[in-house]
Amino acid sequence: MEGKGSLKSLQKLYPLEIRDLDGSITKDDLIEAVKSTTGNSSLNVRIYSLREGIRGMQIAVIGVPANATDQLLKKGKIEVGWVKCCIREKTTVQQCYKCLGYGHEAVNCKGISREGHMSRNCQNESFCIICHEAKEKDTGHKLGSLKCPAYIEELKKRKEDDKIFAN
C-alpha cells in the first residue's frame, strides 16, 4: 500500500465531556493535551464537538479508548492551555432515525417511519411525537430535550447501565 495512505484499526471510543475550556482553545490543542495527559502520543482521540459554553468558555465532547477513559476519569481534571478543566463521562442516548424513538437503531426498528421531516427546516412550534404517542400531557418541546419525559427516562436507563458495566 505504498503511497496509498494509512490504515487504522477499528477501536471503540468512549465519550467524555471536558468543561471550562478557554475560548481560544482549538481542537488540535485539545487533542495534544489529552495525549500529553495520558502519556500516549499515538492515542486515538476524536473530537465530537467543541462548542461555546458560558462566560466565553468552551465545552468539548471527545472519544478515547477504554484505557485512556479510565486514566482520564481517575485524574478528574485535564490541563489544556493555562486552565485545569473538569472531565467526566458523557452519557449518550441512542435514537432511531427512522421512528425517532429511543433505545434502538433504525436497522432494528419496528416502529412507524418518520423519515423525511427535518427539524432544522421545520417552521412549526416544537412538538414531541414520542410524548404525543405516549399520551403525555406536555408535547410542546423538542424531541431529545431535557423537557422530554421519554428522553429523560432513556437517559436514566443509560446512566444506570453505565454504572452496572463500570463495576
Q: Domain map of the chain by residue range? A: 14-89, 106-166
Q: Which amino acid is at 103?
A: G
* Predicted TM-score of the model (pTM): 0.65
Beta bridge partners of 86: 19, 77
Residue given cell 478543566 in the structure block:
85
Measured CA to CA in angstroms, residue 34 lies from 2, 27, 102, 143 at distances of 30, 11, 31, 33
| Higher pLDDT, residue 126 or 40 | 40
In this structure, CATH architecture of domain 14-89: 2-Layer Sandwich (3.30)
Helices 66-75, 27-38: inter-axial angle, 10-degree rounding: 90
Model confidence over 128-142: pLDDT tens digits?
888 888 888 888 888
**Average confidence (pLDDT) over 139-163:** 82
Model confidence over 81-125: pLDDT tens digits?
999 999 998 888 888 888 888 888 888 888 888 777 676 777 888
